[in-house]
Structure 1
């Protein structure tokens, strides 16, 4: 506790106990300094903080007076998770974190993304440029954009800074695309099972969501071809690699097939690649095959660094990038100059690379641990390419319906059933399992006990 904080807390305690009442005058700065045995400057800073909080009032030539009783900090009651299975409710639970056991979470634990070494690196970064405290460029911080162009080049995507736009995360990038290219009533193709925050955004835009079956190796090409033909859609959202929620990754042949369908039906393809920094750069990416002709590529640091930074980016053709930049200025004005400089500093000084190496190892080991644990109780887990955060576990229908979600929540367990990832009727009975939480013994025990309670057997491995 700093000396200033100590003085502030001491005065607040005197007010809360009634030793200082509203309207009463505090000791002078000199008297308080003598009593506390602290410098006068420290007392000045403490009094000013309490004035800023509305606890004290300064009367020139007279001193400082108590304005009101200092409120006691109270816990705001949060309604318990009720077991609602739609995507918006699941997203809210991921933000509120009311349930302690979290195999259904979409994020890694905070300590995985902000370990002591990374926190130490962040605390040592000093943003001395005055530009860090001003509005950002309309396109974002140029040095970071230049560095990202180099990272995309390693993935086979050729792009210049005037075609790469910083955003406040991948969700913001998707929102810009929807605002720019979706009108009410338009058909939009999405993967199913797929990314439920995207479904919410499309519903807000009053779009007509058309689900395309997603397999472990990518979208079902026959289904994509047919849905594109009959729907008249001009936009297709896909996450080719380490797919959320299935964990599967698109093969090279599937990627070529998607682009053929896109060309035949004049589709604009939006490729979301949030795990790119921990995946091999040689994996097939639509933007690399297409070179941003009809692909808009979205990246983010939220999954691999810190979601609180809200730093992402979108790369596109010059025409699309310019349109999205104008839309960003009209809706947000600019992204965070401060946060983008922090991210750039972590990259430039090598801390981000060291963090990624540790994170890859952590994710890889946890994935294998969770797979073994689930298979040990009789569940079948697809063997996907390691690197993403999710396993798609097929379960009996009774373990993935609304009652199961509610029952798990009553035991402090947060699960994410397949119905939350469906644009329409779920294609199969499954749940998304986060590799950081899926080996929790209480979760595994709940699966076994609830299956027995429902009178269903777990599938044999």
Structure 2
């Protein structure tokens, strides 16, 4: 016989109360695997709830695998329940600080609340209300986009709209040259699958976005870094690396470079494309920060016309990391090959996400949101810069927008050591060598200004710098 359950906690429904009652008995081994749980009628009478409440609770427990129904007999315990925890107990395992280390610390559920080293905006900076309105409107529309696979290229109205947005940046692409993906990372992965073989060489900026390194290493290619300057890659170093290593690809950020925040200059862009043609390279231009720009900088795809440049974008940084929607713009023959790879590895991109993004882009919500973001980022950039300089850090460049600052620690300090000490105090930093193929950025840290509002970040940073 079950004891009467306590009154539901504030904010807890009767269904959850019933579920917790059964889970508590399983955890206490009053109900062991194979034991029959009380009938729906009996438990309803014992707990003073309706039978429909117990039915829903049992359905949820069955869906969770805690109990199972036997026809004509009732419900039975299937396994011993495990205590629920947001994170595994004990300390984080020691490991080399690498790109995946940063991603795991920043994404860890229940982990550090302060994450100036992460690469996304705070949740309360995102257009929550607009996304909810768009979701409700989508739910009221025809059901095809909610239950069916999308077309191989992806939702046509969104591709048409993206082609128009690219045209505003001088990039001439028809909607048939735009392929939707589930993210910018998937877009880069598909291009690598199409164009690379294990053992090929790929050039990247040094420093570069650390996930470029993770994706490329997963493809078992050789990664060669080219020194980055505030105006773009060091062209002399690029020419030497291209001549020596015969690379297949060059992967870069066109604007608001990650991690430095710098943007490509027109002169460097033109000379870079000449080198790309001379050495028979293909460029992946990752433009995910495009909408953070206040004044547009050159785009390689605009200057090249898709002869040797593949343009990639997504909405994870500006709209929602949970709404996975990216795209590839490229010449038609590459798009054909990419469609086959997309079908082979993922079958179709997210139809619901594509329709949601399209609605937000076309109802004015996204435009208003981005305009507000630029102002908030500019204010956060100024405040973060002031606080970092007060601690003795030196900015590598003054970004023309965006959310990233690349700052050098005072002489004698190693950013990996500082990051480990800060992590022990529940602050995730992004040390420089994670972004550097040559491991020559040991004094640098990347800061996301949108995640730097808490004064505690700078208190912890100061303490970590002291050792």
TM-score by structure 1 length? 0.88
Q: 1: CA distance between counterparts of 2:413 and 2:320?
A: 32
Q: 1: CA distance between counterparts of 2:36 and 2:465?
A: 65
Q: Kindly report which structure 2 residues correspond to 1:366-405, keeping only aligned pairs within 5 A, or say none.
A: 366-405=380-419
Q: 2: CA distance between counterparts of 1:39 and 1:359?
A: 49
1:251 and 2:265 matched = yes
Partner of 1:295: 309
Q: 1:59 to 1:348 in 2, by over 3 A?
A: same
Partner of 2:124: 111
Q: 2: CA distance between counterparts of 1:407 and 1:288?
A: 44
The Cα of 1:237 is off from its aligned counterpart by 0.9
Partner of 1:457: none
Q: Kindly report which structure 2 residues correspond to 1:62-73, keeping only aligned pairs within 5 A, or say none.
A: 62-67=73-78, 70-73=81-84
Q: 1: CA distance between counterparts of 2:363 and 2:68?
A: 46
Assess if the C-alpha contact under 8 Å between 1:246 and 1:432 holds in 2.
yes
Q: 1: CA distance between counterparts of 2:47 and 2:249?
A: 67
Q: 1:238 to 1:283 in 2, by over 3 A?
A: same
The Cα of 1:18 is off from its aligned counterpart by 6.9
Assess if the C-alpha contact under 8 Å between 1:396 and 1:430 holds in 2.
no
Partner of 2:445: 431
Partner of 2:114: 101
180, 205, 210: which one aligns with 1:166: 180
Q: 1:361 to 1:40 in 2, by over 3 A?
A: same
Q: Secondary structure at the match of 1:302?
A: coil
Partner of 1:140: 154
How big is the alpha-carbon RMSD for the aligned residues of Structure 1 and Structure 2? 2.8
Partner of 1:273: 287
Which structure has more relative contact order (CA 8 Å, sep 6+)? It is: 1
Partner of 1:50: 61
217, 223, 239: which one aligns with 1:203: 217
Structure 2 residue runs of 5 or longer lacking an equivalent are 1-11
Q: 2: CA distance between counterparts of 1:55 and 1:409?
A: 36
The Cα of 1:179 is off from its aligned counterpart by 1.4
Q: 2: CA distance between counterparts of 1:346 and 1:297?
A: 22
Q: Secondary structure at the match of 1:436?
A: helix
Structure 1 residue runs of 5 or longer lacking an equivalent are 454-461
Q: Kindly report which structure 2 residues correspond to 1:356-375, keeping only aligned pairs within 5 A, or say none.
A: 356-375=370-389
Assess if the C-alpha contact under 8 Å between 1:400 and 1:431 holds in 2.
no
Q: Secondary structure at the match of 1:26?
A: coil
Q: 2: CA distance between counterparts of 1:448 and 1:177?
A: 42
Assess if the C-alpha contact under 8 Å between 2:113 and 2:427 holds in 1.
yes
Partner of 1:192: 206
The Cα of 1:165 is off from its aligned counterpart by 0.7
Partner of 1:23: 35
Partner of 2:88: 77
TM-score by structure 2 length? 0.87
Q: Deviations over 1:26-69 (max 9, x none)?
A: 2344x655666665544433333333333444344444455555
Q: 1: CA distance between counterparts of 2:117 and 2:37?
A: 55
The Cα of 1:387 is off from its aligned counterpart by 2.8
1:329 and 2:340 matched = no
Q: 2: CA distance between counterparts of 1:67 and 1:447?
A: 49
Give the number of aligned pairs. Answer: 452
Q: 1:226 to 1:17 in 2, by over 3 A?
A: closer
Assess if the C-alpha contact under 8 Å between 1:246 and 1:390 holds in 2.
yes
Q: 2: CA distance between counterparts of 1:401 and 1:61?
A: 65
The Cα of 1:287 is off from its aligned counterpart by 0.9
1:89 and 2:101 matched = yes
The Cα of 1:77 is off from its aligned counterpart by 1.3
Q: Deviations over 1:273-330 (max 9, x none)?
A: 0111232474311111112121100001111122222211110000111111111112
The Cα of 1:3 is off from its aligned counterpart by 5.1
Q: 1:48 to 1:267 in 2, by over 3 A?
A: same
Q: 2: CA distance between counterparts of 1:445 and 1:131?
A: 49
